[in-house]
Structure 1
Amino acid sequence: MPVNGELRHRIERALARFSPSWEGRDAARRAIALKMLILCELAGGRLRVVDALGINDNTLDNYRHGKTEPRHSTLNMMAELADVPIEYLGNDWSVEEGIIHFAPPEIPPAGFSEPSPLWNLADRVFIPAYEDETTGQLSFEPHDATWAAIPQGFWAKLLVDPGNMRVLFAKGDSMSPTIVDGAPIFVDISDRKLEDGRVYLFDVGEELIVRRVQRLPHGSLELLPDNLERYRPQHAPKDSLADLKVVGRVCAASRIL
């Protein structure tokens, strides 16, 4: 997306102002801060955004500084206000010489073999990949495992220990357009601390489901499908959170083209 004239200058000025505060923050927080910064300018600037979203200046600045993360619903509203397709929110954004790039995440194709976990072959690491073809649901049992061969450079981008990573394959469209049917899902099983706006894999007994977390007042949670047109959110009261089985955080998902 090319940006010219005053809009380009506004984005460049905003980058010069806010990007120094991103140093030291994790990759996910920096990526969201960049998206909020760009969306703010594409939407017409700070005043229009705070008025349309009903937030104050400090809240918007905290998003752009990377101090806090907006809720998924806030990002969606920003994208709509800026006339940016919502599905682009799952891409990697960058700005270079007056062009905004929306690049699909660089998820390598999975190759399959039968080595032991973390066996390096050239520049690749092998990790377990699970799928239960008989029920059509995601499975996390060792007897269902094959092995996915992933380039080592991929881990540096995700900042995840390969020993804690598992690959599963999405079933259905509940998380569409973020995660499409059949897409490989990369799950960090060491990260079970539920953070607002992030996506996690949950064990609900008969199946595993992927949902986005939204924290509510008084400590309760909403487990949100991204496809809200066809699926309903699931409410998790505060007093039942101890029984919520979190398998891990979804770090990335690849589109099947």
Structure 2
Amino acid sequence: MGERLKSLRQGKTRTEFASIIGVHENTLGGYERGERSPEWGFLTQLRETTGVDLNWLVEGNGTHPIQRGDSGAGGGFLPIPKLDVRPSAGPGALVPQPLPNDDEVVAFREDWLRRIGVSPRFARLMFARGDSMHDTISDGDMMIVDVSIREIVDEGVYVVVYGGLVIVKRVQLLRTGGIVLKSDNPRYEPETVPVDEQPELIVEGRVRWVGGEL
């Protein structure tokens, strides 16, 4: 069962996946290595979060969830909501909090979304504005954001709300506990978020794709 459980991560680190399903990463690691048997509460939470068939997970019977949706109506395409907000790859776009609700959808293949490490239920479309993340992200680029990621677990490109601004930045964790918001465009200086201001930094998701996988 450990290997089947591990396969549900779909490109996420153990820390990221543990955060999504609400357990400590050491607990998840023990389940994946077969050192302990999952409790029923964990299994039901996993089913609610990922939609996994527990019969497949525990007994190995049935169909792997990644294989679902590749055939049948719609050819395996799923509607992904588009958020009516443009995170700024620049100084920051002032918007009300929280982020607006989904207002449009665009269809993507379920198997492709899973290959880039995003569960379809947590995928959202956003469009960037500004040039601070150029050449990685250009003005107007479509981004697929994994909104299940609500905390910074390692370096990557995230959509965050900071100081009332929605921005997309490369985020780096410092050994001192600080957080650096970095632009890929060298014309922009990095910004350090002090430890005492980190509660004001709201992570809205991690960018997984922008005209190419991240």
TM beyond 0.5: yes
Distance 1:218 1:166 in 2: 32
Q: Which residue of 1 aligns with 2:111?
A: 153
Tell me the secondary structure at the aligned position of residue 199 of structure 2: helix
Q: Cα distance, 1:138 vs. partner?
A: 8.7
- Bigger RCO (CA 8 Å, 6+ sep): 2
Q: Cα distance, 1:137 vs. partner?
A: 4.7
The amino acid across from 1:147 in the alignment is V
Tell me the secondary structure at the aligned position of residue 187 of structure 1: strand
Are the aligned partners of 1:195 and 1:213 in contact in 2 as well (CA < 8 Å)? Answer: no
Are the aligned partners of 1:138 and 1:170 in contact in 2 as well (CA < 8 Å)? Answer: no
| 1:200 to 2:153 alignment | no
Alignment of 1:1-257 (within 5 A): 27=11, 121-132=74-85, 137=93, 140-142=99-101, 145-204=103-162, 206-229=164-187, 231-254=188-211
The amino acid across from 1:227 in the alignment is N
Cα distance per residue 1:217-241 (max 9 Å; x no partner): 3100111011122x22111111221
Q: Cα distance, 1:156 vs. partner?
A: 2.3
Are the aligned partners of 2:141 and 2:210 in contact in 1 as well (CA < 8 Å)? Answer: yes
Cα distance per residue 1:77-125 (max 9 Å; x no partner): xxxxxxxxxxxxxxxxxxxxxxxxxxxxxxxxxxxxxxxxxxx733211
The amino acid across from 1:188 in the alignment is D
The number of residue pairs the alignment matches comes to 140
Q: Which has the higher helix share?
A: 1
The amino acid across from 1:126 in the alignment is P
Q: Which is greater in Rg?
A: 1
Are the aligned partners of 1:130 and 1:138 in contact in 2 as well (CA < 8 Å)? Answer: no
Tell me the secondary structure at the aligned position of residue 170 of structure 2: strand
Q: Which residue of 1 aligns with 2:44?
A: none
Q: What percent of counterpart residues are identical? A: 34
**TM-score, structure 1 length as denominator?**
0.48
**TM-score, structure 2 length as denominator?**
0.57
Distance 1:210 1:201 in 2: 4
Are the aligned partners of 1:138 and 1:207 in contact in 2 as well (CA < 8 Å)? Answer: yes
Do the aligned partners of residues 185 and 222 (structure 1) sit closer, same or farther apart at CA in structure 2, a change above 3 Å counting? Answer: same
Are the aligned partners of 1:131 and 1:137 in contact in 2 as well (CA < 8 Å)? Answer: no
Do the aligned partners of residues 196 and 228 (structure 1) sit closer, same or farther apart at CA in structure 2, a change above 3 Å counting? Answer: farther
Are the aligned partners of 1:123 and 1:151 in contact in 2 as well (CA < 8 Å)? Answer: yes
What is the RMSD computed on CA atoms of the aligned residues? 3.0
Unmatched 5+ stretches in structure 1: 1-23, 30-119
